[in-house]
Every structure is written in C-alpha cells, then in structure tokens.
Amino acid sequence: MPKSEKEKMLAGDLYSPADPQLATERLAARQFCHKYNNISPELETQRADALREMFPNAGEELFIEPPFCCDYGGNIKFGKNVYINFYCTILDSAQVTIGDNVMIAPNVQIYTAYHPLNAVERNKGPELASPITIGTNVWLGGGVIILPGVAIGDNTTIGAGSVVTKSIPSNVLAVGNPCRVIREI
C-alpha cells in the first residue's frame, strides 16, 4: 500500500505539502496560533488551557510567550518545565523533541523542513523534513536557528545568534555561524 503524504513527510521522504490532509492540519495549527497569540496577557489560565489543548502530551509547566508559530503542532513533543520566549517559530514537518528544563530565548527558529537542492526538483514543489532533538537542561540563546536533522545534547548552551547546522554534544557551550563547540561545561 502506498504511503500517504503525511507518512512520507514523517519518514523523511519527498512529500507534497499541497496534500489536502497536510493543508488541513497546517490550517488547524495556524488557527491555534492565531487564537493563542491573541489571548490577553492577564488571562494566564486561558493561555495554559490553550497550550494543554494543542499539546496534550506536553510535560508540566510548559510556558510559551506569544507570538508563537508552528506548522503542525502535533509533531512537537515537550518535556516538563519548558519556557519559550517571544517570537519562536517551529516548522515541525518532522518530529521536534524538546527535553525537560529547556529555556528558549526570543526569536529562536527551529526548522525541520527543507527543499531539494536541485532547482528543477525544487520547482516541482516537493519538500523534505528531518527531525530535531533538543536534550534536557538546554538553553538556546536569542536568535538561534536550528536546521533540519540536528540533535543538541543534554546540559548544553547554544549562544545567541548561532546557526546550528550539525549536531552538538552534551555538556558544552557552542556558538557561531556555523555553530561550533567552544568549550565543555
């Protein structure tokens, strides 16, 4: 039996983002983000309820400062005690796993989606996606960009403005573009 476009997407195969099921799921995520981002700041309980509705399997103490954007939402797994600051974008065409005790500074971008390098193939419209894993006790500084397929180890800090193009081990400080390990911590 042939794979659905969603199955292809989650398996890391070329898939069509124009697929009706995927378009419907993206619309639902955008509706959630619009609703969430427009909840008045003093309505903390309403914001917490909205997060539990969108991310029912998230660990305790998930807090996301609006505005927040994601592609699907259902492909994001949050551990407990996760804080995400303003203007976070998560393109979750593949699984994004965020461990416990993670701090994400403003303007962080997490991208699982990418396009074929060959222009002829790219112009046909298919996309690819590769999962991202962020370990436990990780701090992502302001403006960090994480590219598809990256894993960040436990107890690691990624410095502000870094572009993480390759996986980073546990227990290190890593910074730069491209991001590289500066020292162990």
Mind listing the pLDDT tens digit for each residue in 22-46? 999 999 999 999 999 999 999 999 9
**Would you place residue 1 in the very low, low, confident or very high pLDDT band (cuts 50, 70, 90)?**
confident
| pLDDT, tens digit, 9 for 90 and up, residues 106-125 | 999 999 999 999 999 999 99
Domain that holds residue 137: 5-184
Q: How many Å apart are CA 167 and CA 175, to the nearest integer? A: 12
CA dihedral 138, 141, 144, 147 (to 10 degrees): -10
* pTM of the model as a whole: 0.96
Q: In whole angstroms, what is the distance from residue 94 CA to residue 38 CA?
A: 27
- Model pLDDT, residue 85: 98
**What is the CATH number for 35?**
2.160.10.10
Catalytic residue among 115, 130, 165, 181: 115
pLDDT at 2: 82
Q: pLDDT, tens digit, for every residue of 57-98?
A: 999 999 999 999 999 999 999 999 999 999 999 999 999 999
Number of structural domains in the chain: 1
Describe the strand order of the beta sheet including 82-84 as a list of residue ranges.
Answer: 62-64, 82-84, 103-104, 139-140, 157-158, 172-175, 180-184
Percent of the chain exceeding pLDDT 70 equals: 100
Q: Check if 34 is active-site.
A: no
61-97 burial, b for 16+ CB within 10 Å, e for fewer?
A: ebebbbebbbbbbbbbbbbebbebbebbbbbbbbbbe
Confidence grade of residue 171 (pLDDT, cut at 50, 70, 90): very high
